[in-house]
Structure 1
Amino acid sequence: MFNLSLFREYIANYMKTKLTYRADFWVEVFSDLMFSATNLIFIFVVFQHTPALGDWSEAEVVFVYGYFMIPYGIFSTFTNLWNFSERYIAKGEMDRILTRPAGSLTQVMLENVDPPSLIGSLIGLCIMGASWSQLGLAFHWYDPLVLIVMTLGSVLVYMGLYTALATISFYTDAPTGIAPLMYNIQNYGRYPIQIYNKGIRFLLTWLLPFAFVGVYPASFFLERHRDLVMAWLTPVMGVIFWAIGLWIWRRGVKRYRGAGS
């Protein structure tokens, strides 16, 4: 309840800021729309030169991409840790965080909440709906519930990995670290993992499980590529990697000794 009350206060302050600088809000929304459109156009361009990726059709790949956008948008809204090293370590704001009663990770997440990123989730849901109709997939009463469970699992995978990644900043003064590399790797998750070689499939499934933010949970709804075992592993992997991320974060916070003089 305490964290929820903090969330309401941070959202209220965010809205006050955006009502003062409304142009910034719409610029963020527009940039998210352009990001989504660019990636979608890339898929269409690829299928102009090939009839299929492996045995995946264009509509199926677009469906996976639509799902990929839903957890990514939610993650970007509530776990925006891209500038953690520069802001909280290099500039010393972590000292301020540790003097307050709320959990350190909770405060960092709330201070960087980014509601416009939810636009990407809505767009992803629309893309899934359009592809669903194009593929002629059956719709069952439990599909919305399964989608919620899968999305939560995927979001937890994101949160666990990027929380662990942010923790590296407690051990190094590098302003960016490996965040750009991780961002590029995560983009592999928006395509069918079957098109990659065995090494990459292993990496994206068990080490950096970005396959669980795209193709595996999406496969639950795809009749031709359904993989129920890997799909239902999504929430399990989410809980495991979120727990690992929290454990690594707590160890990093204990190691932190302040910004110095």
Structure 2
Amino acid sequence: MLYINLFLQYASQYIKTKLEYRGDFIVGLLSDLSLQAVNLIFILVVFGHTQALKGWSREEVIFIYGFFLVPFAIFSAFFLTFVLPFAFVGVYPAAYFLRKTEWNSYAFATPIVGVICFTIAITLWNQGVKRYRGAGN
């Protein structure tokens, strides 16, 4: 219960900081909504002319797109592009949930790739902390 209260307090403070500049908040919200609408319309237009793309149906592509939005919201674009390849974050896990059996081995490798990337990141972080020479150090 303590963690739920802590999360709610954090969320409350986050919302307050976002709403401090209402114009910025509204413009950001409208731009995010329009971006999602344009992406969805693009997918629908493409599938208006074909039934499948390489065996993927319209609903499956929309699912993958939605599945990608979660890690994209959590991690930065740099991280998804260069550190942890996009496919391991979005496509392979989504393919598993959509029962695309030809990609199951990649989907099951996703946690392994995640642990490897996390281990490398922790090692690099610790090396950086050891070599850090800043004010007061």
Q: TM-score when scaled to structure 2?
A: 0.68
Deviation at 1:218, TM superposition (A): 0.8
Distance 1:213 1:19 in 2: 31
Q: 1:232 aligns with which of 78, 87, 108?
A: 108
1:60-117 C-alpha deviation (Å, 9 max, x unpaired): 21221121112222x15xxx5x7xxxxxxxxxxxxxxxxxxxxxxxxxxxxxxxxxxx
Distance 2:7 2:56 in 1: 42
1:37-67 C-alpha deviation (Å, 9 max, x unpaired): 2222222233344442212222221221121
1:17-42 C-alpha deviation (Å, 9 max, x unpaired): 23432333333322222222222222
Matched to 2:52, the amino acid is: A
Matching residue of 2:3: none
Q: Is it true that 1:221 corresponds to 2:66 in the alignment?
A: no
Q: RMSD in angstroms over aligned alpha carbons? A: 3.4
Matching residue of 1:72: 72
Matched to 2:53, the amino acid is: L
Deviation at 1:217, TM superposition (A): 0.4
Q: Is it true that 1:54 corresponds to 2:54 in the alignment?
A: yes
Q: Percent identity?
A: 52
Task: Summarize the Cα distance change of 1:17–1:62 in structure 2 as closer, same or farther, 3 Å threshold.
Answer: closer
**Correspondences of 1:241-256 after superposition (within 5 Å):** 241-256=117-132
Q: TM-score when scaled to structure 1?
A: 0.40
1:88-147 C-alpha deviation (Å, 9 max, x unpaired): xxxxxxxxxxxxxxxxxxxxxxxxxxxxxxxxxxxxxxxxxxxxxxxxxxxxxxxxxxxx
Task: Summarize the Cα distance change of 1:62–1:11 in structure 2 as closer, same or farther, 3 Å threshold.
Answer: closer
Higher RCO (CA < 8 A, seq sep 6+): 1
Note if contact 2:68-2:90 (Cα within 8 Å) is conserved in structure 1. yes
Task: Summarize the Cα distance change of 1:252–1:62 in structure 2 as closer, same or farther, 3 Å threshold.
Answer: same
Deviation at 1:9, TM superposition (A): 7.3
Paired residue total: 131
Matched to 1:250, the amino acid is: N
Distance 2:69 2:17 in 1: 26
Deviation at 1:241, TM superposition (A): 1.1
- Structure with the larger helix share: 2
Matched to 1:32, the amino acid is: D
Task: Summarize the Cα distance change of 1:251–1:222 in structure 2 as closer, same or farther, 3 Å threshold.
Answer: same
SS in 2 for 1:220: helix
Structure 2, unpaired ranges of 5+: 1-5
Matched to 1:246, the amino acid is: I
Q: Is it true that 1:33 corresponds to 2:51 in the alignment?
A: no
Structure 1, unpaired ranges of 5+: 1-5, 83-160, 163-182, 187-206
**Correspondences of 1:62-101 after superposition (within 5 Å):** 62-73=62-73, 75-76=74-75
Matched to 1:25, the amino acid is: F
Distance 1:231 1:11 in 2: 32
